[in-house]
Amino acid sequence: MFAVTSVAASMQLEGVLQVTHYDAYLEPKLAARTISGSVTLTLEDGPAVAGVVRLQKGDLTIDAVAQDSEPLLFETAGQTLTIHVRATSVRPRRVTVKYHGAPRAGLVFMPERQQMYTSFSTSRWMVAADAPDARATFHLELVVPRGWAVVANGREVARRPLSESEDVSEWRQETPVPSYTFGFASGEYSSVVDREGGIASRYLANGFSQPELRRVFTETSRMLKFFADKAGVPYPGDSYTQVLVPKTAGQEMAAFAVVSEEYGRALLADPSVVSLLAHELAHQWWGNMVTCRDWTHFWLNEGFATFMAAAYREHRFGREVYLQDVAAMRARYDRVRNAGHDRALVFPNWDAPTADDRTLVYQKGGYVLHLLREALGDELFWAGMQRYTQTHFGQSVTTDDFRRTIESSSGRDLTAFFAEWVYPVR
């Protein structure tokens, strides 16, 4: 057991250390709606000096922090955890945090439906660095009831019994991804798996038949091919899972997504309403792998996914459908602008976004990409999008990275366009 050690005053320590890998052991309790666990952080190599690690912890309670089984000094302030790491020649440096809590957000417990699943953000249920440029690999051991299906990041590498009624499902995400894309879903789900082009498409739900699941997600294989073609980069993995859950606005995580059962039923009634499925899958390229460097450039995630969903609907259902989607983006944006709430796509801050702010990032962002497409023409626009994605795949980016890449690819000076539509509103 670790002793709990805390300090109230800061110490004179050198360097801010970054987390490169998380090893997590999590025990969620469905009926109690609580979670306990430990996470071992692997820290970047560097000089053998002391340093600090700053993480987010939501409302979780920190029980202990240790380095090489020896207690470490740490302090908490609001939702931030600061750990004071000792100087050592041992490489890599590893720090273990034990914690527990009853998350009010980020982890949804549905005991009445026998399932649980994560949503934004990771630090609500696991201590983590929340910044979008904080990429790391992830190893998860998740305690679940016997017989429950599980999906998490990467691939399942083992499943072992823990007791007469519980198993441990073990997953590994070996490609570094932003920590906000960590997650899992587990429950009494039925499962369907389709394979095409070397990728396994897995569908999970409770209360849908296997034929219904295939109808809900019938577009998945086409979407995977379309986005890979437009990106010029293959899907970053060998499987993709989509889960229907009782209640969510839709959430993408590395290698899987959750969408609502209500939306699934809407797809059964009208297979063309695929925008949300396309939006979440597009994030596997634009968001998860080409990621905004900080939240002020969040439109590079959400505006891109919004636009790419419309582009997919154009590909499948024709130009008129695409133009209807663009008109809907423009209408949402116009309402915000007419109310006097227009802002730059590059936000000066993203501390407490309003509903109007989100409309700008999503709908204005998607609309601006449409305008850029119209300005450049399809050949130059899609060539530029492909070069941007290929150049920055697996990296964190700013709007200037996007502008420079599109200008270089197209040979056009886009200073005026970005000044009018992207940078601060005059």
pLDDT for residue 8: 34
Percent of the chain with pLDDT over 70: 95
> Residues 44, 163: one domain?
yes
The 10s digit of each residue's pLDDT in 200-221 is 999 999 999 999 999 999 999 9
Answer whether residue 297 is part of any domain: yes
pLDDT for residue 349: 79
Could you tell me the sign of the dihedral formed by the alpha carbons of 221, 237, 131, 144, in that order? positive
pLDDT for residue 229: 98
| Distance separating alpha carbons of residues 417 and 64, to the nearest angstrom | 52
Answer whether residue 394 is part of any domain: yes
> Residues 148, 224: one domain?
no
Q: Please identify which residue in the block is written with the tokens 């820290």.
A: 43
> Residues 238, 369: one domain?
no
How big is the CA angle at 220 (ends 216 and 222), to the nearest 5 degrees? Answer: 130
pLDDT for residue 426: 54
> Residues 24, 156: one domain?
yes
Contact 248, 264 (CB under 8 A): no
Domain boundary among 156, 185, 214: 185
pLDDT for residue 91: 84
The 10s digit of each residue's pLDDT in 55-86 is 999 999 999 999 988 999 999 999 999 999 99
Contact 277, 336 (CB under 8 A): no
The 10s digit of each residue's pLDDT in 357-373 is 999 999 999 999 999 99
Number of domains in the chain: 3
pLDDT for residue 425: 62
> Residues 181, 37: one domain?
yes
> Residues 179, 196: one domain?
no
The 10s digit of each residue's pLDDT in 287-332 is 999 999 999 999 999 999 999 999 999 999 999 999 999 999 999 9
The residues, any chain, with a CB within 8 Å of residue 52's CB and separated by 6 or more, are: 13, 15, 16, 17, 82, 83, 84, 85
Answer whether residue 407 is part of any domain: yes
Q: Please identify which residue in the block is written with the tokens 């702010």.
A: 357
Cβ atoms within 10 Å of 345's Cβ, excluding its own: 22
| Distance separating alpha carbons of residues 178 and 254, to the nearest angstrom | 9
Does the pLDDT value for residue 351 go beyond 80? no
Domain boundary among 216, 241, 262: 262
The 10s digit of each residue's pLDDT in 18-47 is 999 999 999 999 999 999 999 999 998 766
> Residues 106, 53: one domain?
yes
pLDDT for residue 12: 38
Cβ atoms within 10 Å of 290's Cβ, excluding its own: 25
> Residues 25, 136: one domain?
yes
The 10s digit of each residue's pLDDT in 139-195 is 999 999 999 999 999 999 999 999 999 999 999 999 999 999 999 999 999 999 999
Answer whether residue 10 is part of any domain: no
Does the pLDDT value for residue 3 go beyond 60? no
Provide the CATH number for the domain around residue 251: 3.30.2010.30
**Structural domain harbouring 155:** 19-185
Mean pLDDT of the chain, nearest integer: 94
> Residues 295, 224: one domain?
no
What is the total residue count of the chain?
A: 426
> Residues 56, 87: one domain?
yes
Domain boundary among 159, 185, 211: 185
pLDDT for residue 14: 47
**Phi, psi for residue 190 in degrees, rounded to 5:** -85, 160
Contact 19, 135 (CB under 8 A): no
Answer whether residue 282 is part of any domain: no
Answer whether residue 2 is part of any domain: no
Percent of the chain with pLDDT over 90: 88
Does the pLDDT value for residue 11 go beyond 70? no
Provide the CATH number for the domain around residue 370: 1.10.390.10
pLDDT for residue 5: 38
The 10s digit of each residue's pLDDT in 376-394 is 999 999 999 999 999 999 9
| Distance separating alpha carbons of residues 380 and 378, to the nearest angstrom | 6
> Residues 31, 174: one domain?
yes
pLDDT category of residue 49 using cuts at 50, 70 and 90: confident
Answer whether residue 340 is part of any domain: yes
Out of 12-16, 45-49, 51-55, 216-220, least confident range: 12-16
Answer whether residue 12 is part of any domain: no
pTM: 0.93
The 10s digit of each residue's pLDDT in 271-292 is 999 999 999 999 999 999 999 9
> Residues 248, 180: one domain?
no
